[in-house]
Amino acid sequence: MRKVVVTGASSGIGKEITKRLLLLDYKVIGISRGIKKEDFNSQNFTSLQTDLRDEKATLATCKKLLDENIYMLINCAGFGRFEPHEELSAKTITDMVFLNLTAPMLLTNALLRDLKKNSGYLININSIEALRASKFAGVYSATKAGLKAFGDSLFEETRKSTLSVTNINPDMTRSNFYNELRFETSQNENEKLLASDIADAVEHILSMRKGAVVSEYTIRSLNFGIVKKKADISNA
């Protein structure tokens, strides 16, 4: 049974992708800070608790995965903060860059030989922000554009192998990504994506003839929608 690594597997898009891959009979190693074996009712799921914002923890995880003979890596873990740049803390900036960009590079570096040997897949869950410039999104957009550029470069670098490399760029997707933000997705079904839409994209990529690669997969909601959260005045 083929082994897959999914980062950010405990919630949102990562969790939905993990559930889909288990249904497709893959063995999944799910990585996040608080993930547990019990989070998924499957004997084919293994949890690996790691804080991918931390360099030592990430490098230790890379070392653990070296002997797993991985077929597919899905870099999904990430977070965003959308504020005027001068209002971001130094820790927020460094954490965002490491989790969204450096950790995927390190994991890919550790697993690339296996992925190529196994004619496998590298899938980066990026963002629509990788393709455009939005105010208050400088650091987040830079990390996602960087991850896209990394994936594009690896696609060209590995074309003599049978590795498939894909960047998936979702628009606003209903998930806990927005829990600590000042805005969230619309409740209108046509104005948001669901995590299952991204899992559908992954399944589609895996169903294609191996000689054909969807190198870029952008998913948008039919209509545009965004909702500003009401200010909490309970403690005012």
For 125-137, write each residue's pLDDT tens digit: 999 999 998 999 9
Delineate the domains of the chain, giving CATH numbers in brackets: 3-228 (3.40.50.720)
Question: Is there a contact between 162 and 143 (Cβ–Cβ < 8 Å)?
Answer: no
Mean pLDDT value of segment 182-189? 87
pLDDT tens readout for residues 23-82: 999 999 999 999 999 999 999 999 999 999 999 999 999 999 999 999 999 999 999 999
pLDDT at 117: 98
Question: Is there a contact between 124 and 169 (Cβ–Cβ < 8 Å)?
Answer: no
Please say if the pLDDT value at position 104 is more than 50: yes
88-97, 122-131, 225-234: range with lowest mean pLDDT? 225-234
The chain-wide mean pLDDT, for the chain, equals 94
pLDDT at 78: 95
11-15, 142-146, 185-189: range with lowest mean pLDDT? 185-189
Q: Residue type for 231, please?
A: A
Percent of the chain at pLDDT above 70? 97
Residues 6+ apart with CB under 8 A from 117: none
Conformational region of residue 8, where left means phi above 0, alpha means psi within -120 to 50, and beta covers everything else: left
| Banded model confidence at residue 178, pLDDT cuts 50, 70, 90 | confident
pLDDT at 183: 81
pLDDT at 15: 97
The pTM score is 0.93
pLDDT at 232: 54
Conformational region of residue 97, where left means phi above 0, alpha means psi within -120 to 50, and beta covers everything else: alpha
